[in-house]
Structure 1
Amino acid sequence: MRDYAEAVRLFDHGKAAAAALHGDLEALNACVECCDRHLGDGKPALLYLNGDGHSARYSFEQLQPLVARFANVLRAQGVRAGDRVAGLLPRTPELLITILATWRLGAVYQPLFTAFGPKAIEHRLEQSHARVVVTDSHNRAKLDDVPGCPTLITVNARSGELDFRQCLDKAADTCEPVMRTGDAPFLLMFTSGTTGPAKPLEVPLRAIVAFQGYMRDAIDLRPEDNFWNLADPGWAYGLYYAVTGPLSLGHATTFYDGPFSVDSCARVIDTLGITNLAGSPTAYRLLIAAGKAFSAPIKGRLRVVSSAGEPLNPEVIRWFADELGVKIHDHYGQTELGMVLCNHHGLEHPVRMGSAGFAIPGHRIVVLDEQGHELPAGQPGILAVDREQSPLCWFGGYHGVPTKAFVGKYYLSGDTVELNADGSISFVGRSDDVITTSGYRVGPFDVESALIEHPAVIEAAVIGKPDPQRTELIKAFVVLASGYSGSETLEEALRQHVRQRLYAHAYPREIEFVSELPKTPSGKLQRFILRNQEVAKQHAQQANPASA
């Protein structure tokens, strides 16, 4: 394991960053970095398994001519360097072929998550001006009512439409890659839209260096690992770190095409011999709920586990250590930044329970007050990236959309954090999620973590409910475990549990038992929906007191 401080020193003015990508940031192609560069030794590029038990393995040598063929198919439809190609596909070999073929032409891949409805798809295609959409028969109908829908290429196409396999079979299997500069985009992403309309942003080719750093230092991806990232490539964490990151290091990615469940997760780990796992706390909580049914068959199989998407609850950390005998580490990032703050599996540094970790080498992460001054340890503020001293920071703003996130040399993340004395940083919450009650600032994550530690609770979301006396009071929405039912007795038990786990002013004065919590398709809590519902209820009660 390398020393963290030494790894940070390597990134002096970006020199190590350029060297990490073979010394040339002026002639790049993402398909070359993620496929061609790794030809010659038969290494696997894709491990595929679906819900019916069908499996397949593609080496880089097998994948390359398929990619070249489909690149020629796209070129025949007018795709050129800089054009957008959208993919509305599940995790199948066709998805990976589409992504790499787009990159081979110097074009820009735009992911469309398969759970999107027509409106979400329409917004993204309207913003991107995609020239081609690649989809399958299952998702094809979502595009019927999209105005001005681009050219479609469909796996198992309708009669008279372009069919993926038929086009592939007719195309030539050689296609020279189009080289571009490090600042040229190769991905077009959209923010999750949790606080407003989804905004587009371009990811430049030089971001591949940063993705590699995360895979090497935080994930600790080793040649002998079998790696599985549970995240869907329709979202940033999956596309950056299930596809681009491992492939650019010559390491196979794993695609499981099927519904996520405790049984399917255990089956993939067992069948493919997964040793290095990445995912979200939402997925891990489902596994924990299964108890021994999940842990017993795979205990001792995993070497390391990584978590991203939302802060990792301490209870999850303890469960993975006790039940699976494996370290799970928390990682923080954004679509705009990739992963920038981590408890690194591959670097030696202190790991503080509840901390998001340390800045990934190549980034300087600071905590700012509202005036833009850097704060010392112990004071909550806004997480920011010092762009002048972060050679691997690649985000340059939203595409065609102004942003207030750049203030001087800093990028403001919008997240509230606190610097710890050891140099690590702890997540407090989204700036608009932080609760101010009776003069205290309370992070919802702390209360949620405490609630989840109670055996009756599977999931929890905590918000600040407007209150004339306390500014806000803490309200919790709780999903109960099987065998428990909501009652006043249980409410009081949960309140006392939180008071004991945290502190007197942080317990939820109101608790509502619900069957599910509002989330984005990628599994992030949407606390703002719950806040808006509470405000609407209060307005209705004020307008009609008799209904209260």
Structure 2
Amino acid sequence: MQMNYKELVENFSWENVYSFFNWSPGEPINMANMVCDRWADDPNRIAIHWEDREGATQTWTYKQLKDKSNQMAHVLKSLGIKKGDRVAGLLGKDMELIIGVLATWKIGAVYVPLFTAFARDAIMHRVNEAGISLLLTNQEQASKLDDESATFQTLLTDGLTSSGETFWEFVDSFPADFILEPTGEKDPSVIQFTSGTTGLPKGAASGHKSIVTLYPYMKYALDIEEDDIFFGGADMGWSYGLMACVFAPLSLGVSIVVYKGPFEVEKVYELLEKYKVTNFTYAPTAYRMMMAAGSDLLKKYDLKVKKFSSAGEPLNGEVVRFFEKNFGRAIYDHYGATEAGMIVNNYNCTDMKIKPGSMGLPIPSYKIGLIDSEGNEVKQGETGQIAIDMSDGAFDFMGYWNKPEKTSEKKLGKWFLTGDLARQDEEGYFWFQGRADDVIMSAGYRIGPTEVEDCLMEHPAVMETAVIGKPDETKGEIVKAFVVLNHSFEPSKELSQELSEFVKKKLSKHQYPREVEFIESLPKTQSGKIQRYLLRKNRVKH
């Protein structure tokens, strides 16, 4: 029987969370033990169902993961990697990568995730900022980095060692037992670089305790239960893919699906059916593609999914309604930040009302405020910056790697600033309004782009859209929309006017786009977040 949100908050206890992990604050804690080794006593407990685009499959138990990552830990030690060193991974969803991450934590080193779509400059920025000692990658990715000035070692998963061994021959030459390096809750475990929506990415450091602080999200928002088969589609080069889609669900001892291949709607449906997936999370772009594929495709598959979740950017209400109609279940939208974790969510474990387009309600034990530039909370219904009250001790962001000045800029009194805007309705639900630097000031009105974008998405012509403020002599700024059309529609002046009127009638006379520009695609980060600042750079030219 589902609880309500109020009961969830009132009954939440960090002591119960610590008990689940058999851990107490101040004691040693190692992420590899929490997500893998402690479940390995049962030799039959399945950790990962792995599959690639060609249909090759592997099944890994927790015991196999433990043994193989123990061997990999010996490999890292043999290469001179020690506690506190940084190890980067530049691979797709490979088992070699998952094992490498576990081994990195086992020796007390710090893992630095990289995304395989990055080009040379993006990779070198991150590895230099983090000061890595070793890069785990393959020949294809290593070919991007023919840089003689590199100061780190490279270990190839598809190459030969100096003694002529393959990667797995090298790993298997070491024993399968390993004593974990003692690590504490404040010892760094991951340096995750921000997605760079507003400037150069910064390395956000988190400690070994972060796996414990992720528990409320995994347990209540995603509602991962012991008998779930969990499938999260995000790439491991990003925070959500690394933690929420792989290692955090493993910390609950469940079986997960890891798919190495591009997102294709029909392939995802095949995987959901084949592995009897019950709990599914993906980015809004994927859900929009599933909606665009239509409801007829669904009839070919016998799906068991009971819980849908989304994170990464705001989820359009129209997509939520499509899933309610065709799957009998809403998508539960979640909000978080690299530095903060998942802090405002719709909770799959509750009977809370889902308001399509809303981020939901604060995670238990956190005080989330909406504040103005002075650090004062705004009135209900007004737009403010999403901020976390740091005074209660639940929030434990360690700061940006080697950038104390950037860490200080994120704090205002007792508040940690996310850089995102939201408003709160009369029932306490949060509604995303854009980045703090995305706010549009028009004739004295503060307009967040997301509400306008959500409205435009309800028009059948619109596949994707982004809204910015364009300088205007009279109003300061006007609302301008960039629109990617669905395939059956053609750009025209008449359609532009139709879209403006559509928003004016559904929202208000001050929020509608006074300009609509049709484009083939929106500029996005590699993780799929819209880069409005690039659109703003060109706004005067159009």
Q: Measure how far apart 1:366 and its partner are.
A: 0.9
Q: Measure how far apart 1:491 and its partner are.
A: 1.3
RMSD, aligned CA = 1.8
Q: Measure how far apart 1:482 and its partner are.
A: 1.3
2:234 counterpart SS class: coil
The amino acid of 1:268's aligned partner reads L
* Alignment-derived partner of residue 369 in structure 1: 372
Q: Measure how far apart 1:531 and its partner are.
A: 0.4
Q: Is 1:54 aligned to residue 56 of structure 2?
A: yes
Q: Measure how far apart 1:163 and its partner are.
A: 4.4
CA distance in 2, matches of 1:64, 1:443: 47
Q: Is 1:47–1:252's contact at 8 Å kept on the other side of the alignment?
A: yes
CA distance in 2, matches of 1:244, 1:464: 39
The amino acid of 2:317's aligned partner reads P
Q: Which moved more, 1:322-331 or 1:214-223?
A: 322-331
Does the C-alpha gap of structure 1 residues 438 and 234 become closer, same or farther in structure 2, counting only changes over 3 Å? Answer: same
CA distance in 2, matches of 1:181, 1:159: 33
Q: Which moved more, 1:412-421 or 1:81-90?
A: 412-421
Q: Is 2:272–2:303's contact at 8 Å kept on the other side of the alignment?
A: no
* Alignment-derived partner of residue 111 in structure 1: 113
Does the C-alpha gap of structure 1 residues 125 and 489 become closer, same or farther in structure 2, counting only changes over 3 Å? Answer: same
1:485 counterpart SS class: coil
* Alignment-derived partner of residue 23 in structure 2: 23
* Alignment-derived partner of residue 290 in structure 1: 293
Q: Measure how far apart 1:158 and its partner are.
A: 5.7
1:432 counterpart SS class: helix
Q: Measure how far apart 1:396 and its partner are.
A: 2.9
The amino acid of 2:388's aligned partner reads V
Q: Is 1:311–1:356's contact at 8 Å kept on the other side of the alignment?
A: yes
Q: Is 1:262–1:294's contact at 8 Å kept on the other side of the alignment?
A: no
1:2 counterpart SS class: coil
Q: Which moved more, 1:215-224 or 1:261-270?
A: 261-270
Q: 2:330 aligns with which of 327, 330, 333?
A: 327
* Alignment-derived partner of residue 544 in structure 1: none
CA distance in 2, matches of 1:243, 1:148: 30
1:73-97 per-residue CA deviation (whole Å, 9 max, x = no partner) reads 0010111111111100110111111
The amino acid of 1:504's aligned partner reads K
Q: Is 2:207–2:398's contact at 8 Å kept on the other side of the alignment?
A: no
1:182-235 per-residue CA deviation (whole Å, 9 max, x = no partner) reads 111111111111111111121111111121211100000112221111111110
* Alignment-derived partner of residue 442 in structure 1: 447
CA distance in 1, matches of 2:70, 2:58: 20
Q: 1:167 aligns with which of 153, 161, 170?
A: 170
* Alignment-derived partner of residue 147 in structure 2: 145
Does the C-alpha gap of structure 1 residues 299 and 458 become closer, same or farther in structure 2, counting only changes over 3 Å? Answer: farther
Q: Is 1:521 aligned to residue 526 of structure 2?
A: yes
CA distance in 1, matches of 2:297, 2:113: 32
CA distance in 2, matches of 1:106, 1:73: 14
1:315 counterpart SS class: helix
1:139 counterpart SS class: helix
- What is the count of residue pairs matched by the alignment? 535
1:481-539 per-residue CA deviation (whole Å, 9 max, x = no partner) reads 1121111121122122212221122221111111110001110000110000113x27x
Does the C-alpha gap of structure 1 residues 206 and 10 become closer, same or farther in structure 2, counting only changes over 3 Å? Answer: farther
CA distance in 1, matches of 2:134, 2:342: 29
2:510 counterpart SS class: helix
Q: Is 1:530 aligned to residue 532 of structure 2?
A: no
Q: Is 1:459–1:479's contact at 8 Å kept on the other side of the alignment?
A: yes
The amino acid of 1:206's aligned partner reads K
The amino acid of 2:354's aligned partner reads V
Q: Is 2:270–2:301's contact at 8 Å kept on the other side of the alignment?
A: no
The amino acid of 2:487's aligned partner reads S
**What does 1:454-533 align with in structure 2 at a 5 Å threshold?**
454-533=459-538
Q: Which moved more, 1:291-300 or 1:182-191?
A: 291-300
Q: Measure how far apart 1:389 and its partner are.
A: 2.1
CA distance in 2, matches of 1:199, 1:298: 42
Q: Is 1:118–1:145's contact at 8 Å kept on the other side of the alignment?
A: no
* Alignment-derived partner of residue 546 in structure 1: none
CA distance in 1, matches of 2:331, 2:186: 34
CA distance in 1, matches of 2:9, 2:379: 20
CA distance in 1, matches of 2:393, 2:384: 20
Q: Measure how far apart 1:390 and its partner are.
A: 4.8
* Alignment-derived partner of residue 397 in structure 1: 399
Q: Is 1:269 aligned to residue 272 of structure 2?
A: yes
Q: Is 1:422 aligned to residue 427 of structure 2?
A: yes
Q: Is 1:118–1:146's contact at 8 Å kept on the other side of the alignment?
A: no
Q: 2:127 aligns with which of 125, 128, 138?
A: 125
Q: 2:99 aligns with which of 97, 100, 114?
A: 97
Q: 2:86 aligns with which of 84, 87, 112?
A: 84
Q: Is 1:36 aligned to residue 41 of structure 2?
A: no
The amino acid of 2:259's aligned partner reads Y
The amino acid of 1:195's aligned partner reads T
The amino acid of 2:324's aligned partner reads A
Q: Measure how far apart 1:419 and its partner are.
A: 2.1
1:45-96 per-residue CA deviation (whole Å, 9 max, x = no partner) reads 1111110011111010121111111110001011111111110011011111
The amino acid of 1:142's aligned partner reads K
The amino acid of 2:45's aligned partner reads K
1:351-384 per-residue CA deviation (whole Å, 9 max, x = no partner) reads 3333211111121101112221123311211111
Q: Is 1:408 aligned to residue 393 of structure 2?
A: no
Q: Is 1:137–1:156's contact at 8 Å kept on the other side of the alignment?
A: yes
CA distance in 1, matches of 2:154, 2:222: 36
TM-score by length of 1: 0.94
CA distance in 2, matches of 1:493, 1:162: 65
Q: Measure how far apart 1:11 and its partner are.
A: 5.1
Does the C-alpha gap of structure 1 residues 163 and 29 become closer, same or farther in structure 2, counting only changes over 3 Å? Answer: same
Q: Measure how far apart 1:337 and its partner are.
A: 0.7
CA distance in 1, matches of 2:83, 2:76: 11
Q: Which ranges in structure 2 are unaligned for 5 or more consecutive residues?
A: none
The amino acid of 1:24's aligned partner reads S
Q: 2:344 aligns with which of 327, 341, 346?
A: 341
* Alignment-derived partner of residue 75 in structure 2: 73
CA distance in 1, matches of 2:92, 2:502: 42
The amino acid of 2:243's aligned partner reads Y
Q: Which ranges in structure 1 are unaligned for 5 or more consecutive residues?
A: 539-548
The amino acid of 1:509's aligned partner reads R
Q: Which moved more, 1:258-267 or 1:96-105?
A: 258-267
TM-score by length of 2: 0.95
The amino acid of 2:40's aligned partner reads L
* Alignment-derived partner of residue 4 in structure 1: 5
**What does 1:211-360 align with in structure 2 at a 5 Å threshold?**
211-298=214-301, 301-360=304-363
Q: Measure how far apart 1:348 and its partner are.
A: 4.1
**Identity value in percent:** 38
CA distance in 1, matches of 2:514, 2:416: 36
Q: Which moved more, 1:394-403 or 1:67-76?
A: 394-403
Q: Measure how far apart 1:159 and its partner are.
A: 7.3
The amino acid of 2:116's aligned partner reads T
